[in-house]
Amino acid sequence: MKPIIIIGAGMAGYTVAREFRKLDKTSALIVITGDSGGSYAKPMLSNAIAQRKQAAQLVNQSATQMAEQLNATILPRTRVDNIDSAAKTVTTSAGTFDYEKLVLAVGAQAIRLTIAGDAAQDVLSVNHVDDYAIFRDKISSPEGQPAAHVTILGAGLIGCEFADDLAGGGHAVTLIDPSLLPLAALAAPALSTGLKSALENRGVKLELGTTAASIDHDGARLKVTLANGASFHTDLVLSAVGLRPDLRLAQAAQLTCARGIVIDTFGQTSATDVFALGDCAEYTLPDNGGSQPMPYIAPLMSAARAIARTMTGEPTAIDLKPAPVIVKTPSFPLALLPPPINVAKTGSWHAQEDGAKIICRYYDEQGLMCGFGVAPQDAASRQLLIAELGSLR
């Protein structure tokens, strides 16, 4: 038997490897990755500063430990050059390998904005534990010196999490976004307003309804000039404007791609025996709901279980049950289940206050609830809203 090959050693790659090993203890398994192959939880990257965690502390197991745990061959620091889905081969910097089944878990790339100024190239992004190590080192201030002032581009999910975390770690933070409220694309206005107040009370300065027009060196610091004409000094700029599925290998292999690598309900791409999951994939939604990238943990876990079963001879559809996204903003803990893209512009949010809790429900044109948000969130409130959503389906 030829091996199962997984490209990518992030959460998606290692999760599908673990699920496969639960079902098949002996078949050859190869994991190919461009990084060191250490296992870590990517969601931890945006809330580790306040906990004063170094990058090494976020890595749970080394590549050697993962190889032993999975009874697998792990090829770290290995570049994948080509996939031939007809010949069923993968060509890499370590040689060419045949495969029985192939899984693409190559993740996403940070979106880079085009910004003027001689310091625009110094803008950082954190999309990997190695990025976190660089960022952590740059914001470290010598003993007795003030903490670094960090400017964040983008008040979406990751930008808000980093803003809350950095403020909790003692840093001055400025958060910039063209929307008039944080989390505007995901949350109900009532929840976005609550988060805005919480971040401001945390000490975060919000520059909303504008963008960074230029970033320039000014002595030892950086000068950020906004599109509205205002300017200020900062020590570091972090971009958190979003991620784009990494399609480079898939497109070169002529797999069907849209916003992500298109997969069917079983996780298979347009090529036989080639699967994809995680941030790089575009999931087919049930009930003719179209398809969309789903860069969250719950779809990843469901896809890993289904793909592992399908690869071992038990075709299993991905069970995309409604699962809220937990926003890691301790100053205003949120749980969000945004409405599907195909109804997100045709319905409306309805807010309800229950004591200190804000509960928001999204209704489509037919009055059917198809999304929600709650803050401060807890397990009980999440489960009640999921049950309410399920009873209407």
For the domain covering 333-391, report its CATH number: 3.30.390.120
pLDDT of residue 289: 65
Query: What is the homologous superfamily of the domain 4-108+244-311 according to CATH?
Result: FAD/NAD(P)-binding domain (3.50.50.60)
Where residue 79 falls among pLDDT bands split at 50, 70, 90?
very high
**Average confidence (pLDDT) over 342-371:** 88
- pLDDT of the residue at 143: 67
Nearest CA among 227, 206, 205, 225 for reference residue 217: 225
> Side-chain half-sphere of 185: how many Cα atoms within 13 Å?
13
Kindly report the number of other CB atoms within 10 A of residue 142's CB atom.
6
3-state helix, strand, coil in the chain (%, to 5): 30, 30, 40
113-139 confidence digits (pLDDT tens): 999 999 999 999 999 999 999 999 999
pTM of the model: 0.93
C-alpha 315/C-alpha 312 separation (Å) is 8
- List, for residues 288-303, the tens digit of each pLDDT value: 667 888 888 999 999 9
- Fold agreement between 4-108+244-311 and 112-239: yes
Structural element, H or E, at residue 274 = strand 274-276
Average pLDDT over residues 251-276: 97
Task: Kindly report, residue by residue over 14-59, the tens digit of the pLDDT.
Answer: 999 999 999 999 999 999 999 999 999 999 999 999 999 999 999 9
Average pLDDT over residues 197-221: 97
For residue 68, give the H/E element and its range: helix 63-70
Calpha distance 381→361 (Å, rounded): 13
pLDDT of residue 261: 97
Instruction: Supply the pLDDT for residue 233.
Output: 97
Mean predicted confidence (pLDDT) in 214-231: 96
Q: Which long-range contacts (CB under 8 A, 24 or more apart) does 288-295 make?
A: 289/340, 289/342, 290/340, 290/341, 290/342, 291/258, 291/262, 292/259, 292/340, 292/341, 293/245, 293/259, 293/260, 294/320, 295/108, 295/243
Q: What is the dihedral of CA 47, 49, 50, 56, to 10 degrees?
A: 90
Give CA–CA dist 57/366, Å, rounded. Answer: 49
| Bridging pattern class, strands 221-226 and 212-218 | antiparallel
Tokens of 96: 């060419």
What confidence score (pLDDT) does residue 145 get?
75
With cut-offs at 50, 70 and 90, classify the pLDDT of residue 151: very high
What's residue 345's pLDDT?
A: 77
DSSP for 195-236 reads HHHHHHHHTPEEEES--EEEEEEETTEEEEEETTS-EEEESE
Question: Taking the CA of residue 294 as centre, how many other CA atoms within 13 Å lie in the half-sphere pointing to its CB?
Answer: 32
Q: Judge if the upstream peptide bond of residue 178 is cis by omega within 30 degrees of 0.
A: no
Instruction: Give the DSSP H or E segment for 381.
Output: helix 379-391
- The order of strands in the sheet holding 101-104 is 73-75, 29-32, 4-7, 101-104, 274-276
Q: What is d(CA 221, CA 85) in angstroms, rounded to the nearest whole number?
A: 50
The closest of 44, 105, 32, 36 to 279, measured between CA atoms, is 105
Across the chain, what does the average pLDDT equal?
94
pLDDT band at 357 (very low <50, low <70, confident <90, very high): very high
At the top level of CATH, the class of 112-239 is alpha beta
Domain boundaries, the chain: 4-108+244-311, 112-239, 333-391
What percent of the chain is modeled with pLDDT above 90? Answer: 87
Query: Would you list the DSSP string of 100-134?
Result: SEEEE---EEE-----BSTTGGG-B--SSHHHHHH
Residue 285 pLDDT: 82
* Tens of pLDDT, residues 361-389: 999 988 899 899 999 999 999 999 999 88
pLDDT tens string 235-255: 999 999 999 999 999 999 999
Q: Which pLDDT score, from 0 to 100, does residue 389 have?
A: 85
User: 38 near 61, Cβ under 8 Å?
Assistant: yes
Determine how many CB atoms are found less than 10 A away from the CB of residue 353.
9
Residue 106 near residue 78, CB atoms below 8 Å:
no
Percent of the chain topping pLDDT 70: 98
Residue type at 209 in one-letter notation:
G
Site of tokens 């409405």: 339
Please state, in angstroms and rounded to a whole number, the distance separating the CA atoms of residues 151 and 164.
Answer: 12
pLDDT tier, 391 (very low <50, low <70, confident <90, very high otherwise): low
